[in-house]
Structure formats: C-alpha cells, structure tokens
Amino acid sequence: MKISDIETYLVGNPWKNWLFVKMTTDEGIYGIGEGSLGHLSKTVETAIHEMKPFIMGLDVFQTELLVGRLSRHVYADGGQIKMCAISALEIACWDAIGKAVNQPIYNLLGGVCQQRIRAYANGWYRCPRSPEAFADAARQALKLGYTALKFDPFGSGWRTLSRREEDLSIQIVAAVRAAVGPEIDLAVEAHSRFSVSNAIRIGKRLEPYCPAWFEEPVPHSNIQAIIEVARHLEVPIATGESFSSKQQIAELLRYGEIDIINFEPLHMGGILASRKVADMVDAHYGVVIPHAAQGPVCTMACVQIDVCTPNAWLQEVFDDFNEPWERELVTNPPIVVNGFIEAPQGPGLGMDLVLEEVLRHPYHEGLDVSLFEKDWHLRRSEQKRALAATSRRSSHVKVKRDHTGNGNTLSRRRKHRRIQPAKRD
C-alpha cells in the first residue's frame, strides 16, 4: 500500500489557520493528518510539498522510515515548521493503516489503557479582562461538563508586569477559584512571558489558589531557566509544548524537577513519536497532558495517544470554544461528555474530512491573535473589526476617486514608469 498522492487544505479562521493533509495510496485507501502551526501554517504546507518527493511510493506502513527519512534527508533543522510537516504526514499514515486493518490507531500502539480521558477546557475566557468576567466565564465552562480549566490571566505581559497588572492577574485567579470551588482543577498558563525572578514571584503568589500546574512561565529555549523556577515553587510546573525533539524533553527530565509534560504531537513527529515520549516521561514517574490548540484532527490524534498511554492525565480541548463551524469540518469530531472524551471506535483516527465544508473556509490573511497584544484572548477584537471596516471604506473611496479621474495616482505612477530611460550597463 504505497503513497501515491498528497493533498493539502488550508482552513482559515480569525484565530489561526489550520492545515489538513490527505494522503492517498495506490490501493485507494487514504488517511488524513494535520500540520497546523498558527501564523505559519502556509509555511508548513510549503514544506510538505517540498518534502513530498522523499516519500512518494513509500509503503504507508513504514512510519518510522518516513519520519527518519524526512528528518535526516531534509538536511536542515527546521524546528516546529519541519516537525509539523512530518507529523501531518505521519498521522495520515496511521489513519490509512488503521483503515486498512479495520482498527483504531490506539489498538496498533498497545491497546486500551483507559476507555476515556478527562478533558480540560481552554479558550473559554473570551471576555473582558476582569475578575468578575473571568469568574462568570468559568461558571459557563463548568456547565459544559468540564472539571478542569486552563487560562492565561496575565494580559499582554512580557518579562515583567507592573504592580497593578500583576495584582489584577492574581485577582483574576482568585476570582476563578472562588467561582468554581476547590474540587475543580485550575491550570494557569503563562505563555513563556516572564523572566526567572518574575516567574518565581508570581508563582509564589499563585500558591494559595492551588493550581494543578503553572504552565510555561519562562521561554522554553533555556531549560535551566525553567528548572530554576520549578526549584523555588510549590506549584507544579508544566512545559514541553514548544519543544520540537525528544532530546529536549530528555534533557528536561534529567533534572527531576518537572514531571508534567504537555508535548505537542505535531512538534514531536506525530503519533508514534509522542507515544515514545510519553513512555520516557513515565520512566521518570511523570504524566503527560498532550497539547491540542490546533484543529479537530490534531485533537483526535491526541485522544488516540491518550487512550493507549497509561500516564496520560488530561487532554486539552479548545474545540468547544472555537468557531461554531469547526465541528462541520470532520465527521465524528471529539465530544466532551461529563468532562471526558470516550475512546473513538472507528478505524484509523475514527474521523474524516468533510471537504465541502473545508473548502468553504479559505486561508485567512492577517490573523487577529498575538499573545503580546492587548485583549489577545478575545481572538478577534471589536477594535480590529472596526479598523478593517474603516480600511475597506477608505479603499472604496479611493476606487471611486480613480473612476472619476480625480487623484488617480496609480495611473500617473504607471505613466511615470513608462517614460523612465532604460538603465545602461
């Protein structure tokens, strides 16, 4: 069953563009995958097509060979971009393999360790940045059945916060804890915002609210920095989503300070590589909480990993808080019921792309989310919509002026170019 064709589909929305892959074999069986990478999904799409010649004609069952060939033969580091491209193809291979043998992927990687995985909600706080608004949004998330929530209360902070901003951030955490009670797991996300000293001070202020973990308080590129933070806090630290190799996770684990790893399967090389990393974490008595801030195919790949992984603790879920049409992109999207996602039952991933819906949402230029801009958590602010509307009106006025012959700077510019003498050598 050899790879005969690879197609890619970019799906646009205001938050981030999703990249899906369809890999077809010479027997007609196909698999789907995902390689989304926020603002760089189109770049990943290009990487897939540039690497495609290395794997055309390869037996789809040879996933290790595929990952190894693309990792070595494409002689460039590439980081997350390269790994997202490889992972999209690897996931599509496993989906096709599962369809060929009529088994879900988890049955091909050790079988069922847990029939369902507890989900934690993310993206639920598209609200004003105030303690009252966050508390109300948390209550609404609990009504959907979630028993664990993650959120970033720190606004657009970078390296440090003013005293006023830091106090507001802690007040938001306190309000959410008061709203949901002591039994709900709360994780505080920091998106690599802080210096070591600020991360330690803020982490200590979080301790009275018993977070399940404090996530990525400092950038991932200096492992010693996050180890230093972990050594000073009673709050558990979680990290790993930004790593793009198992070697980075191995280095992190050897210090024995961090045992909650939220690897991103799209950065690790796909499903099998992620399962191996989870086993490495298990050897250090740690747990994994796969990162899933992408589209529905990535979420389902994470669930396949969770089901066959004994030390999978929680699964991140954005899907309930994304664009309402997201669930129409696939058949059998992952559904959270009473705080859990059940093991999918179909062969392969257990879902398929609905191409008619995929094609209704073309690539979105100028994404609205930057984690270091004010009100980023709203994903698409009213201010940006107003600016876009103003820009469209300005363009309309310019076109009208051009049509009336007034202020036709474009025509004059072109005429000016035509009369310029040619340059001599």
pLDDT in tens, 390-400: 555 555 444 44
State whether 315 and 342 are in the same domain.
yes
pLDDT at 380: 67
Among 349, 364, 391, the domain boundary falls at 349
In a domain, 357, yes or no: no
In a domain, 398, yes or no: yes
Look at the block and give the residue holding tokens 């590439």: 78
State whether 216 and 248 are in the same domain.
yes
In a domain, 354, yes or no: no
In a domain, 369, yes or no: no
Closest CA to 90 of 31, 5, 25, 4: 31
Residue ranges of E strands in 300-346: 314-317, 340-342
State whether 8 and 36 are in the same domain.
yes
State whether 223 and 160 are in the same domain.
yes
In a domain, 223, yes or no: yes
Mean pLDDT by 10 residues, the chain (425 residues): 98 90 98 96 97 97 97 91 98 98 98 98 96 98 98 96 97 98 98 98 98 98 97 98 97 98 98 98 98 97 98 97 94 97 97 97 83 82 49 47 38 35 40
pLDDT at 421: 39
State whether 135 and 222 are in the same domain.
yes
* CATH (domain of 188): 3.20.20.120
In a domain, 425, yes or no: no
Cα gap 33→107, rounded to integer Å: 18
Pair 98, 348: CB distance under 8 Å: yes
pLDDT at 368: 67
DSSP 170-207: HHHHHHHHHHH-TTSEEEEE-TT-B-HHHHHHHHHHHG
Pair 148, 118: CB distance under 8 Å: yes
* CATH (domain of 42): 3.30.390.10
Helical (H) or strand (E) element with 277: helix 271-283
Q: Read off the tokens for 346.
A: 């179909």
Q: What is the pTM of this model?
A: 0.89
Cα gap 97→238, rounded to integer Å: 33
State whether 98 and 217 are in the same domain.
no
DSSP 125-144: --S-SSHHHHHHHHHHHHHT
State whether 91 and 140 are in the same domain.
no
Cα gap 371→374, rounded to integer Å: 8
* Residue 21: strand pairing partners: 8, 33
pLDDT at 391: 54
Look at the block and give the residue holding tokens 């993650």: 150
Among 58, 74, 103, the domain boundary falls at 103
In a domain, 29, yes or no: yes
Cα gap 36→53, rounded to integer Å: 21
State whether 78 and 92 are in the same domain.
yes
Cα–Cα distances in angstroms (integers) from residue 247 to residues 240, 384, 417, in the given order:
11, 41, 55
**Cα torsion angle, 279, 61, 102, 293, sign:** positive
Say how many C-beta atoms besides its own lie within 10 A of residue 108's C-beta.
Answer: 17
Amino acid at 6: I
Give me the number of domains the chain comprises. Answer: 3
pLDDT at 282: 98
* Residues in contact with 263: Cβ distance below 8 Å, sequence separation at least 6, in sequence order: 240, 241, 243, 249, 274, 277, 278, 288, 290, 291
Closest CA to 363 of 49, 2, 5, 8: 8
CA 179 to chain centre: 27
State whether 78 and 163 are in the same domain.
no
3-state secondary structure of 216: coil
In a domain, 94, yes or no: yes
State whether 304 and 163 are in the same domain.
yes
Among 86, 103, 120, the domain boundary falls at 103
pLDDT at 383: 47
State whether 24 and 80 are in the same domain.
yes
Instruction: Strand 18-25: give its sheet, edge to edge.
Output: 3-11, 18-25, 30-34
- Domain range spanning residue 50? 3-103
State whether 260 and 126 are in the same domain.
yes
pLDDT in tens, 217-258: 999 999 999 999 999 999 999 999 999 999 999 999 999 999
